[in-house]
Amino acid sequence: MILLTSCGGDKPSTTAGSSKAPKKEATASSGSDAAKPVSNRKGKLIYKQYCQLCHGADGKLALSGAKDLSISTIDMAERINQITNGKGLMTPYKDILSEEQIEAVAEYVGELRK
Ligand code: HEC
């Protein structure tokens, strides 16, 4: 399972070049993934693990005052900032996720708007 290896986030040896470095495809998963940026798939996994319980799979759950992410208008920088530092009832993720993971999930949140 890919999930197991993506926990932790503080192993610079394997994540060194972040999204810039070409990632090795250990197993040929579903072929068409090659066309997508690595961060999208990663962001989705992180989202499912950490964000879905309040925001829902499609971003619209809005549990305990969470914003509907499908109609959110804040930009990438603000998303990264809010995920990093939290806001209101939302947990700050700076001690939970790496910068790279926060970036990946912030990008994924942008995709929920479509
Ligand atoms: C404990 C529930 C909870 C979890 C878990 C959670 N959020 Fe939130 N989120 C909130 C709440 C509550 C707000 C509204 C904060 C406010 O504006 O007062 C919010 C707001 C946001 C916003 C801002 C939307 C806007 O337009 O203002 C973004 C982006 C966001 N969350 C992303 C995430 C991501 C990404 C994760 C996972 C890493 C996550 N959230 C996990 C509760 C949560």
- Mutation pick for ligand 1 pocket among 48, 82, 109, 111 (CB with most ligand atoms within 8 Å): 82
Query: How far is the centre of ligand 1, averaged over its atoms, from the C-alpha of 50 (Å)?
Result: 10
Within 1-114, residue ranges assigned H as helices are 2-5, 12-15, 38-50, 52-55, 76-85, 99-111
Class (C level, CATH) for 36-114: mainly alpha
Closest atom of ligand 1 relative to the 74 alpha carbon: 26
| Per-residue model confidence (pLDDT) at position 94 | 97
Nearest alpha-carbon partner for 52 in 105, 95, 114, 113: 105
pLDDT digits (tens, 9 = 90+) for 74-106: 999 999 999 999 999 999 999 999 999 999 999
Would you list the domain boundaries of the chain?
36-114
How far apart are alpha carbons 39 and 105 in whole angstroms?
8
Task: Return the ligand 1 atom nearest residue 50 CA.
Answer: 37
Q: Express each pLDDT in 17-66 by its tens digit.
A: 444 545 554 444 444 555 555 557 999 999 999 999 999 999 999 998 99
Q: Which amino acid is at 25?
A: E
